[in-house]
């Protein structure tokens, strides 16, 4: 086991490709924990951002600035009574949230957080991803059916129709991105998620800007369809609060309901990751080819540390600005500790970036290092690179997540038939046209 | 399934027994606990998939017997009760009642009182329309306007609170005039509100008026023709949006409305978007009225010559005013005693709610909530 652990450390490919099951498992656990934490953060951020859009404060009581609110809510939901309606189909009712959750989390097996920072690199990665992510609808449909109640049933019907129609436009938009990969230097296209990002690197352009404006249009279609795919405003018909009370999860409460929410947010992150991978260069930092000198590498590798430093500063300013009333003393201490944690994290990341830079730049040291120490330095350099990749990936995903919140604050909800109209009469023809044009331009160019 | 609710039910709730996996109509109960029925309205929907085949409103969950209470109260004592009918436009309710009793007594409020009444009533109209806009937008799925309108409505409620101590159920007026003189700085507060509020309407409109989704959700939704609206007794912005220029403030001027210069907005198509636009313009027109009233408010007494004990002569009276939601009428029968023999209220929400079935037949479930929102009903007034 130790050899399995150690043998992978120097590897340059993802554990799935290297055939190292131990590390694959470690990656799965890291991703599962990371996504769960991201969902918690997203929950807090959405409530705060939405509140500030709407001239209110949002959660403020549980922890400083409501930082512990998601945890308090999760605890509350876990402690609630587990209700299964008497008329419901008990087993299906029980299994429905798990289907949604599994579908949302399985997608992460092929999402590349970096060239080797993925569980696996499947040669049909994007296909796998589309297939699994559209399984999420099964959870919703099954939940609506098993509840044996009218509102959930209508919600489930809406959801199934919606997903089916938006899947098509989404798939076509994805195909035009895949076509663009076939123009890379080797001349063959790829369905591998890692391959798609590498193709963008080799061609020196994000597919967003490829064949301008074709890439942009395909991206826009994908960006619209992905909102519909995860049932968010303005396409949140399946749970349309003001029409169907809560749509497909009307009859759900407690932990099962929270599983639906977890699945929804995980799916949001997953589709954003697909968008980032396909169009916005995945893990690549801005201008990886143009600004390629080691000095640039060093500057960009400082970004993660600086970001956390900035967050620490914001938290620290929050501590200073908190009212000095004794009522806030515990909150002040809590926020100060949080700021300190962020600050330490920032320092650690900066340290890793600096050491990694010197290790990879091969600066001549006055004394010769023992081989073990040299290995260790190389490992740090690799770790530093990994942090960079994950940082830029997460940053791009975060932009999309913010957009989801922004949409929710701004737009009303589409009606069912209008949604279908947009899907079939607008998005589908445009995406078909873009696909054909992309193919034509690709043939002409190559 | 269950039997029809009553003999006059327009829905056939009997559905024959059918085998498993049939495709019969879905009868669904919307309310009384539902996020978009504005209180405790219960609508029974008969659906074919998402298409509405028919609706039936079940009301009375908020019935408090306001009209019956009137028979056991003196005219003065009943005055606060009317505030509890349309609780988002309490000032209008009070104005209608006070004017009706004054008419019965054959007296009139002094000019200054009339101006104060106009200012407060129009402020209340704006507040009511703000609440309508926020909830209507929320029903259609836009969350944010609700918070904006509530933020701005607060300024109006502050003026009410300063004037008479209450924010919602104000009991601002008395029979014969007003109880309270305006407080020092009242005019300044009102003017400040006008300058504060003018850009806020633009803000609401920026969020909604040109919004594609908002247009799709409201254009050609819940259409009612002018003739249908008149036949159903629909009044207020709903009627005006159908192209009928009928506003009691112009048609039968009461209080001091004949002295002000304002326009009555009308729509053309009678759809939800027209009703939205009519109310938005009405808010601006209300601001015009308030501005004129504040600038021209006369000096003088605020209470007319009304006896301490109100004992109207035997007779009956119907007086109606243009409340934010439509024609609010009071029919009062006096037997010469200190208590009314009978009070009958013609509430605009109750009558307008009748149009729901006409407006949503053949539309989708999502339109039902849009139409309930656009009718601007308050269940306190529907059930009384």
Residue A146 located in a structural domain:
yes
Strand partners, B323: B326
Strand partners, A402: none
pLDDT at position A355 over 60: yes
Residues B327 and B235 sit within 8 Å (Cβ to Cβ): yes
Contact at CB, B142 and A410, closer than 8 angstroms = yes
Same domain, A75 and A89: no
Residue A265 located in a structural domain:
yes
Residue A403 located in a structural domain:
no
Pairwise CA distance, residues B130 & B201, whole Å: 9
Residues A143 and A95 sit within 8 Å (Cβ to Cβ): no
For an interface test with B, the pick among A231, A412, A416 (most B C-beta atoms closer than 10 Å) comes out as A412
pLDDT at position B233 over 80: yes
**B-chain residues near A415 (CB < 8 A):** 216-217, 364, 366-367
Domains and CATH numbers, chain B: 66-349 (1.10.645.10)
* Residue in chain A nearest B35 by alpha carbon: A242
pLDDT at position B181 over 60: yes
* Nearest Cα residue to A185 out of A198, A172, A167: A198
Confidence of residue B315 (pLDDT cuts 50, 70, 90): confident
Confidence of residue B87 (pLDDT cuts 50, 70, 90): confident
**B-chain residues near A244 (CB < 8 A):** 365
Same domain, A124 and A240: yes
Same domain, A367 and A438: no
Same domain, A310 and A280: no
**B-chain residues near A53 (CB < 8 A):** 144
| Least confident span in A104-118, A137-151, A375-389, B243-257 | A375-389
Contact at CB, B211 and A412, closer than 8 angstroms = yes
Q: Which two tokens stand for residue A167?
A: 């899947």
For an interface test with B, the pick among A152, A234, A238, A242 (most B C-beta atoms closer than 10 Å) comes out as A242
* Residue in chain A nearest B204 by alpha carbon: A410
Same domain, A137 and A226: yes
% of chain B at pLDDT higher than 90:
24
Report CA dihedral (B40, B46, B51, B57) to the nearest 10 degrees: -30
Q: Which two tokens stand for residue A140?
A: 């919703």
Residue B53 CA: distances (Å) to CA of A93, A375, B114 = 30, 75, 48
Give the domain extent around A262: 83-284+415-446
Burial class (CB in 10 A: 0-12, 13-18, 19+), B109: buried
Domain boundary among A61, A80, A99: A80
Residue A407 located in a structural domain:
no
Strand partners, B44: B29, B56
CA distance A160 to chain B (A): 14
| Least confident span in A56-70, A73-87, A280-294, B84-98 | A280-294
Q: How high is the mean pLDDT of chain B?
A: 86
CA distance A51 to chain B (A): 9
CA distance A242 to chain B (A): 5
- Would you state the pLDDT for residue B3? 46
Pairwise CA distance, residues A360 & A356, whole Å: 6
Residue A18 located in a structural domain:
no
Residue with tokens 């908002």: B214
Residue A25 located in a structural domain:
no
Same domain, A337 and A212: no
Q: Please, how many CA atoms are within 13 Å of residue B33, restricted to the half-sphere of its CB?
A: 2
Q: Average of pLDDT values for B23-51? A: 81
Pairwise CA distance, residues B63 & B6, whole Å: 19
Q: Which two tokens stand for residue A383?
A: 């770790």
* Residue-wise burial string across A328-347, b where 16 or more C-beta atoms lie within 10 A, e elsewhere: eeebbebbbebbeebbebbe
Same domain, A237 and A309: no
Residue A38 located in a structural domain:
no
Q: Which two tokens stand for residue A137?
A: 């609808």
Pairwise CA distance, residues B214 & A237, whole Å: 15
The verdict on A50 touching B (C-beta cutoff 8 Å) is: yes
CA distance B239 to chain A (A): 25
Give the number of other Cβ atoms within 10 Å of residue A114's Cβ. 21
| Least confident span in A194-203, A336-345, B336-345 | A194-203
CA B373-B358-B224 angle, 5° bins = 75
String of DSSP letters for A182-194? TTSTTS-----HH
Contact at CB, B214 and A244, closer than 8 angstroms = no
Same domain, A338 and A375: yes
Helix (H) or strand (E) holding B38: none
Same domain, A91 and A189: yes
pLDDT at position B198 over 50: yes
Confidence of residue A187 (pLDDT cuts 50, 70, 90): low
Residue A63 located in a structural domain:
yes
Q: Which two tokens stand for residue A408?
A: 């929710």
Question: Roughly how many angstroms between the first and final C-alpha of chain B, as a whole number?
Answer: 31
Report CA dihedral (A179, A183, A188, A192) to the nearest 10 degrees: -60
* Residue in chain B nearest A246 by alpha carbon: B35
Segments in B165-211 forming alpha helices (H): 186-208
**B264-308 pLDDT tens trace:** 998 888 889 999 999 999 999 999 999 999 998 888 888 888 888
- Would you state the pLDDT for residue B16? 53
Residue with tokens 């620290």: A316
The residue length of chain B stands at 384
What is the rounded radius of gyration, in angstroms, for the C-alpha atoms of chain B?
22
pLDDT at position B73 over 80: yes
What is the rounded radius of gyration, in angstroms, for the C-alpha atoms of chain A?
24
pLDDT at position B13 over 70: no
ipTM: 0.82
| Least confident span in A244-248, A318-322, A429-433 | A244-248
Helix (H) or strand (E) holding B154: helix B144-164
Is the peptide bond preceding residue A213 cis, with omega within 30 degrees of 0?
A: yes
pLDDT at position B244 over 50: yes
Same domain, A387 and A436: no
Stretch 380-409 of chain A: residues touching chain B, C-beta under 8 Å: 408-409
Q: Average of pLDDT values for A300-324? A: 87
Residues B239 and B230 sit within 8 Å (Cβ to Cβ): yes
pLDDT at position A196 over 70: yes
Pairing of strands B51-58, B173-174: unpaired
- Would you state the pLDDT for residue A2? 72
CA distance B145 to chain A (A): 8
Residues B83 and B297 sit within 8 Å (Cβ to Cβ): no
- Would you state the pLDDT for residue A14? 73
Pairwise CA distance, residues A139 & B316, whole Å: 65
> Which one of B34, B144, B369 has the shortest CB-CB distance to A54?
B144
Q: Please, how many CA atoms are within 13 Å of residue A198, restricted to the half-sphere of its CB?
A: 15
For an interface test with B, the pick among A144, A152, A243 (most B C-beta atoms closer than 10 Å) comes out as A243
Same domain, A143 and A232: yes
Helix (H) or strand (E) holding B321: strand B315-323
pLDDT at position B9 over 60: no
Pairwise CA distance, residues B129 & B153, whole Å: 10
Q: How many domains are contained in chain A?
A: 3
* Nearest Cα residue to A110 out of A11, A229, A14: A14
Domain boundary among A60, A80, A100: A80
Same domain, A71 and A96: no
- Would you state the pLDDT for residue A414? 87
Residue B267 CA: distances (Å) to CA of A213, B83, B214, B241 = 41, 30, 17, 4
Residues A48 and A54 sit within 8 Å (Cβ to Cβ): no
Contact at CB, B365 and A244, closer than 8 angstroms = yes
**A372-399 pLDDT tens trace:** 777 777 777 778 888 888 898 999 999 9
Residues A182 and A445 sit within 8 Å (Cβ to Cβ): no
């Amino acid at each position: 086991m130790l050899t399995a652990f150690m043998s992978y450390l120097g590897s340059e490919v993802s554990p799935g490709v290297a055939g190292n099951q131990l590390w694959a498992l470690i990656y799965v656990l890291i991703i599962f924990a990371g996504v769960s934490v991201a969902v918690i953060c997203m929950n807090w951020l959405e409530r705060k951002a939405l509140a500030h859009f709407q001239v209110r404060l949002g959660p403020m009581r549980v922890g400083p600035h409501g930082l512990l609110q998601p945890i308090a809510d999760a605890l509350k939901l876990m402690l609630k009574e587990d209700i299964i309606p008497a008329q419901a189909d008990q087993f299906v009712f029980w299994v429905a949230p798990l289907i949604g959750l599994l579908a949302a989390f399985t997608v992460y097996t092929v999402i590349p957080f970096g060239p080797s920072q993925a569980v696996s690199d499947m040669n049909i990665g994007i296909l796998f991803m589309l297939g699994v992510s559209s399984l999420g609808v099964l959870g919703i449909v099954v939940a609506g059916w098993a509840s044996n109640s009218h509102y959930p049933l209508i919600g489930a019907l809406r959801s199934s129709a919606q997903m089916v129609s938006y899947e098509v436009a989404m798939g076509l938009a994805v195909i035009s991105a895949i076509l663009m990969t076939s123009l890379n230097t080797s001349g063959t296209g790829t369905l591998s998620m890692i391959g798609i990002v590498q193709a963008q690197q080799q061609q020196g352009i994000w597919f967003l800007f490829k064949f301008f404006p074709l890439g942009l249009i395909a991206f826009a279609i994908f960006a619209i369809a992905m909102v519909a795919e995860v049932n968010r405003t303005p396409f949140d018909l399946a749970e349309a609060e003001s029409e169907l009370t809560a749509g497909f999860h009307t009859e759900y409460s407690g932990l099962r309901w929270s599983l639906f929410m977890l699945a929804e947010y995980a799916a949001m992150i997953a589709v954003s990751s697909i968008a980032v991978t396909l169009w916005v260069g995945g893990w690549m930092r801005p201008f990886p080819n143009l600004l390629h000198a080691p000095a640039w590498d060093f500057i960009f590798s400082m970004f993660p540390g600086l970001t956390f430093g900035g967050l620490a500063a914001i938290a620290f300013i929050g501590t200073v600005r908190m009212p000095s009333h004794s009522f806030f003393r515990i909150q002040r201490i809590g926020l100060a500790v949080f700021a300190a944690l962020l600050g330490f994290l920032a320092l650690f990341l900066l340290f890793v970036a600096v050491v990694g830079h010197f290790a990879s730049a091969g600066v001549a040291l006055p004394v010769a290092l023992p081989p073990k120490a040299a290995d260790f330095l190389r490992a740090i350099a690799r770790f530093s690179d990994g942090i960079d990749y994950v940082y830029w990936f997460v940053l791009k995903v975060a932009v999309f997540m913010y957009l989801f919140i922004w949409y929710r604050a701004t737009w009303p909800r589409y009606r069912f038939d209008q949604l279908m109209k947009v899907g079939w009469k607008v998005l589908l023809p445009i995406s078909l046209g873009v696909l054909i044009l992309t193919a034509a331009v690709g043939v002409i160019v190559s | 399934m269950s039997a029809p609710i009553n003999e006059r039910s327009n829905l056939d709730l009997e559905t024959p027994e059918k085998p498993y996996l049939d495709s019969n109509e879905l009868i669904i109960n919307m309310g009384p606990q539902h996020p978009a029925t504005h209180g405790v309205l219960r609508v029974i929907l008969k659906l074919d998939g998402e298409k509405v085949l028919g609706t039936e409103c079940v009301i009375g969950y908020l019935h408090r017997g306001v009209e019956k209470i009137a028979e056991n109260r003196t005219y003065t004592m009943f005055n606060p009760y009317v505030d509890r009918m349309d609780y988002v436009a309490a000032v209008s309710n009070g104005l209608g009642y006070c004017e009706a009793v004054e008419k019965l007594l054959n007296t009139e409020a002094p000019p200054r009182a009339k101006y104060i009444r106009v200012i407060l009533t129009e402020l209340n109209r704006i507040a009511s329309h703000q609440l309508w806009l926020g909830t209507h937008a929320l029903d259609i799925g836009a969350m944010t306007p609700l918070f904006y309108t509530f933020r701005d409505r607060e300024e109006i409620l502050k003026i009410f609170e300063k004037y008479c101590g209450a924010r919602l159920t104000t009991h601002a007026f008395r029979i014969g005039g007003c109880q309270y003189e305006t407080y020092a700085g009242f005019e300044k507060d009102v003017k400040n509100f006008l300058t504060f509020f003018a850009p806020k309407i633009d803000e609401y409109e920026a969020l909604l008026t040109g919004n594609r989704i908002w247009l799709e959700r409201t254009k050609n939704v819940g259409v009612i023709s002018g003739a249908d609206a008149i036949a159903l007794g629909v009044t207020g912005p709903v009627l005006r949006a159908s192209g009928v220029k009928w506003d009691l403030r112009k048609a039968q001027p009461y209080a001091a409305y004949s002295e002000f210069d304002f326009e009555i907005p009308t729509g053309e198509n009678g759809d939800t978007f027209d009703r939205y636009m009519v109310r938005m313009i009405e808010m601006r027109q209300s601001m015009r009225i308030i501005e004129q009233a504040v600038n021209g408010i006369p000096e003088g007494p605020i209470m007319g010559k009304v006896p301490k004990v109100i004992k109207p002569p035997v007779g009956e009276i119907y007086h109606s005013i243009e409340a934010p939601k439509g024609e609010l009428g009071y029919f009062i029968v006096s037997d010469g005693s200190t208590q009314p023999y009978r009070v009958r209220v013609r509430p605009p929400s109750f009558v307008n709610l009748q149009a729901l079935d006409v407006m949503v037949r053949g539309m989708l479930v999502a339109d039902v909530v849009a139409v309930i929102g656009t009718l601007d009903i308050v269940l306190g007034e529907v059930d009384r």
